Amino acid sequence: MATRREPEEYSPSVYSQPSMNHSRAGTMRTDSSNSVATLSTVSSISTRSDETIVPTQTQSSTSLGYFGDEKVKVEGKANGSQTPNSTLLNLSRLARVGTSYTPLLDEQPMPPPPNLNSSTTLHYSNLKSSDTIVSQHKTADVPEFGLPLPRFVVRGIISIIIPIALVVYYFITWWRWLRFPEGSSEVWKRTGILDNVNIVNYSWFIIATFALNLGTYAVAGSVAAMVMRRRWAPKNFRRLIILAGNTFQDPAGWFDALVKIVRKRRLYKINGALWDILAFFSVIGFAAWPLTGLTMQTEDGFTISRRYKGEEVFVVGRNHSSINGRDGALTTSRVTTFWSSGFSPQLPLRRQFYVTPGSSIQVNVSTSDNTLPDDASESIFLAPQGTGPMIGQSFGLAIRYNCTVVNSTSQFTVLSRRNDTFNLDGLNPAYGYTLPDSTVILLRNKSSGINLISNVNASLELGTSMTLSEISDPTDSESIGYASLFEPYPGLNHTIVIELALWQTISPIESYGRISVNPENFNFRDAENDIPEFRNTIRYPGQKAVGVRCEASSAIGNAFINGVDGTYTNFTQVNATIRNGGGIKRFETGIPHMIVQTPYIPGGFAFPNNVDWLSALYASVEMSSLTTNAFGDFLGAAPSVLQADDLRNAILRAYKTHAVHIMYDGLADPTFAWRLSNVTMGTKAMILTRGAVAPEVILGMLIAWALSIIILSLAYQFRRRWTETLDGYTIFRFGVDRPDDVLPEMLAGEFDNAAVLERLPGMVGDLEPDRDVGYIGLVRGGREADWGKRYG
């Protein structure tokens, strides 16, 4: 008996190259010269042994139909004789070669016979001489002339619109809110679009939930078309099944592929090139979409319109009519008290100052924690303060100042010409003198005042570029104020120089009154960054000097302020209203009076000496004095002399304190407010700012994800294809339409272990390329379907 042997490799002729003619009547037909009869039989028989033949699939029906012209020739044995079993086996082989069965035929299936006996075998053998079996592919409900492959235009359009819409929405969100650095006020600008930041913020958490599913929807149609192209078609049926399962968009699929790569310890295409490419872009989208919500966060801020409506708002601070309405001496005394007491100068309410566009000075416009900078070499503008950012025309004070530590007398311009032999010990002591160019030097020493710091001996010399008439102006207006009867006062371009040299020595203490002190418990610091030329001078033997040089200027006027970016432009200087009895000193001219602790300096330099000018310097920088116990009892001693940086900070605080008193009377929380016209002030609102993840990185990932989907959609979604998506039902149809040499027992276990799947083709193409009406199925050899052809 002939024994059936399983083929080692799938033959293309079994599945993709039918050798028999086909008719479109829907059945396989036989031809007889004496009668009309039709026998439709599809059988597959597996030979388990030399003596046993097991039928695996039998279907028969009878109907009237068209007679075909082709005959079936069954080859016999070499000697011309055949047994019944061998005849049936040859018929089965012929049926597999000449027939390819589809489950979508119109005939009704019949159950297989319970067994095969000799008579049945003989019946089949009688067909070999005169009957013709014609191969037939026929899909249910499809006419004989076939139908063209459909286009799925709507799905293609949606597959393009969805990724574009999502990425454009994120780009708009980034452009409107997230592109600005932390602290930027550009997020306050009201544009009318995306102003409700809560909706924008929460929308990304919702979109991120569904975006990946929307991506799967878009890619599914492209995959169905790509497996019909020779370039992208999977090499076998197993890879086609994997693509149908969309594992390229599933973390479990990525992990499974990674495990296989690790086990094999080499990189190779386990799931095919198409799967690898789709998985790569899916990983990008899977990582990017959940992170979109982390690229943004909501904060308390302000919103301000781009269109300035000129609404009136309430502010605090001085205006043109009130800035000079104060007595100069009283104002200087008040400023000196604040500075000497160590109060930190603070701006009120919004605490915002303004700089020129492009300035290197940093202004935090998003919060209310601004303090005046230490270096204002580039001018800043102090305007009335409100509760929010303002835009419009406003009056204010423009100032410029900076202080540097001096390490050599060559850096001085006034004190470098000091007179070291000037007599300060006469019966009528003078505390200053003028230089030949009319500049002034003021002096203070330990004996010229009260000194609560007993272990520090100090003397101060202050040189200024102001003349004696300017520094001793009794009216505080003509020369050193903002009002003038004859000519405008100097503005921002006129700099006043102040130079200070502070000589000091420090000594340990052993007792303070009746309290014994162990000097080993304290580290007493002498001057460390002193001026070498001023060591051990005639006037101050045994002392070291530290030095500071400052420059400052100011003006009052009107400017256009922009609270959104913290800038001021179009500044115009004005004169203050003249006040009888004098007015406030200018920002830069009042500092010498604060340092020497007197509101008025007479022409003879005989100003009072009943002040503790040294303790004021210590207190201005909040340097603590020594104490004797945990209760803070004052010891009357300092652990260190004032170093050069301490002296610089003390003078800077004097400038800042004077500025906030000129404009805001030194009040951090004033109770009096007045109405300011021609400005628009922002209102409190939630704003959207950058989050923990850089939005530019996520934007780039989303663009790559969207482009991959759009390119595939444009290239393949609008092509004709046999199905809308490559899904499980489609794979089932191909499985039922499989060749007869694939038996169910070959598919036992996991499909990864089913070697027979590797032998089946994975490309979807035309099984009947030479016929007018083709048939879609799994093909080998790259036979692509023809778009202009009809298929049944």
Angle, vertex CA 588, rays to CA 549 and CA 394, nearest 5: 135
598 and 607 Cβ atoms separated by less than 8 Å: yes
583 and 482 Cβ atoms separated by less than 8 Å: yes
SS3 757: helix
pLDDT, one tens digit per residue, over 644-662 is 999 999 999 999 999 999 9
**How do strand 544-562 and strand 567-573 relate by DSSP bridges?**
antiparallel
Residue 644 confidence (pLDDT) = 96
572 and 559 Cβ atoms separated by less than 8 Å: yes
For residue 705, the cross-strand partners are: none
Question: Which phi and psi (to 5°) does residue 592 adopt?
Answer: -55, -35
The alpha carbon dihedral of 653, 656, 662, 667 has a sign of negative
Determine the average pLDDT of the residues in 451-456.
80
C-alpha to C-alpha distance for 474 and 600, rounded to whole angstroms: 7
629 contacts: CB under 8 Å, gap ≥ 6: none
Residue 50 confidence (pLDDT) = 35
The residue among 689 and 25 whose pLDDT is bigger is 689
SS3 553: strand
pLDDT, one tens digit per residue, over 258-279 is 777 677 655 445 777 888 888 8
Question: Which phi and psi (to 5°) does residue 263 adopt?
Answer: -65, -40
C-alpha to C-alpha distance for 381 and 396, rounded to whole angstroms: 7
Place of tokens 């009878």: 62
Determine the average pLDDT of the residues in 18-47.
33
Checking if the pLDDT of 38 tops 90, the result is no
Residue 770 confidence (pLDDT) = 82
- Between the ranges 65-79, 117-131, 520-534, where is the mean pLDDT highest? 520-534
Residue 721 confidence (pLDDT) = 83
pLDDT band of 14, cuts 50, 70, 90:
very low
For residue 690, the cross-strand partners are: 296
DSSP 231: T
Checking if the pLDDT of 100 tops 90, the result is no
SS3 45: strand
560 and 570 Cβ atoms separated by less than 8 Å: yes
175 contacts: CB under 8 Å, gap ≥ 6: none
Alpha helices in 386-497 (DSSP H): 468-471
The residue among 238 and 164 whose pLDDT is bigger is 164
pLDDT, one tens digit per residue, over 173-202 is 999 889 988 767 778 776 666 678 888 888
The residues spanned by each domain of the chain are 12-141, 152-297+690-727, 313-676
Residue 140 confidence (pLDDT) = 60
pLDDT, one tens digit per residue, over 362-406 is 888 877 778 999 999 999 999 999 988 898 899 999 999 999 999
SS3 296: strand
pLDDT, one tens digit per residue, over 561-581 is 998 888 999 999 999 988 776
C-alpha to C-alpha distance for 52 and 55, rounded to whole angstroms: 10
pLDDT band of 65, cuts 50, 70, 90:
very low
pLDDT band of 513, cuts 50, 70, 90:
low
C-alpha to C-alpha distance for 29 and 659, rounded to whole angstroms: 109
Checking if the pLDDT of 289 tops 70, the result is yes
pLDDT band of 429, cuts 50, 70, 90:
low
- Express as a percent the part of the chain with pLDDT over 90: 28
Three-state secondary structure of 432-447: EEECCCCEEEEEEEHH
pLDDT band of 606, cuts 50, 70, 90:
confident
Average pLDDT, the chain: 75
Place of tokens 């699939």: 57
Angle, vertex CA 752, rays to CA 750 and CA 754, nearest 5: 75
Say whether pTM exceeds 0.85: no
In this structure, the number of other CB atoms found within 10 A of the CB of residue 427 comes to: 4
DSSP class per residue in 684-745: EEEEEEE-SS-HHHHHHHHHHHHHHHHHHIIIIITS--S-SS--HHHHHHHHHT--TT--GG
Residue 194 confidence (pLDDT) = 64
The residue among 271 and 360 whose pLDDT is bigger is 360
The residue among 538 and 11 whose pLDDT is bigger is 538
Place of tokens 């003619």: 21
pLDDT band of 128, cuts 50, 70, 90:
very low
Checking if the pLDDT of 326 tops 50, the result is yes
C-alpha to C-alpha distance for 399 and 489, rounded to whole angstroms: 14
DSSP 751: G
Angle, vertex CA 349, rays to CA 343 and CA 350, nearest 5: 115
482: nearest Cα among 336, 325, 598? 325
564: nearest Cα among 310, 194, 186, 175? 186
Look up residue 659 and give its two tokens. Answer: 């500025």
pLDDT, one tens digit per residue, over 455-503 is 889 999 999 999 988 888 766 566 788 987 778 889 999 999 999 999 9
SS3 47: strand
